Amino acid sequence: MRWDRFFDDLEDQLASEWEAERAALDTEAERLRLSRVGLRVRLRSLAVQDARIALELADGIRLRATLGGVGADWVSAVPVDGVGAALIPIEAIVEVAAPQADLLRSAQPAEAESPLAARMTFGFAVRDLVRRRVRVAVHLVSGRMLHGTIDRAGADHLDLALHDVGAARRNREVSGYRLVPYRSIVRVQVDAAGELRGP
């Protein structure tokens, strides 16, 4: 009789050890999976959730927004106040603040994304703004802001025709031209009429 209890105890102990080992392996597998998850994937998940977040940007601005779309190296953000939209290079994001539940969900395995969205670069999104001739405010890492219309989008820069806020891009309204490297851009703010379209 005592031997039966002894073997039952051993069996329970072995089962507990197996369970602990399996839990440790599962935990390590999850850590390994998370170590391969990039910020872009987490941002895409937050966009799908339509989560309200706050983006701290390289120029020190904190933008409260929801994400409208995520491309290969950029996000489109719609400010909580609902005025316009912003095209933001992922490299210009310093931190993302969100409720804990949204952050935890963003770490879960993501759905497969469209191959097109993964290939849409910042330059691709800027070329869409060129085609639509929308007025923009280009916010730079230096803290400066340039108002105008984007005339051309190159591989790593854009051509901006400077004009007053609200003015149409006409030659007599243009006060100057600037070549702006993408690496110096924190965000391209688009007025409400030129809403950004996500991938």
Domain 39-194 is in which class?
mainly beta
| DSSP state letter for 61 | -
Query: In this structure, how many other beta carbons lie within 10 angstroms of the beta carbon of residue 4?
Result: 8
Residue type, 33: R
Q: What is the pLDDT of residue 22?
A: 67
The residue count for the chain:
199
Kindly report, residue by residue over 126-153, the tens digit of the pLDDT.
999 999 999 999 999 999 999 999 999 9
- Whole-number percent of the chain with pLDDT over 70: 86
- pTM for this one? 0.81
**DSSP H stretches of helix in 57-109:** 100-106
More confident residue, 13 or 94: 94
Least confident of 30-39, 169-178, 182-191: 30-39
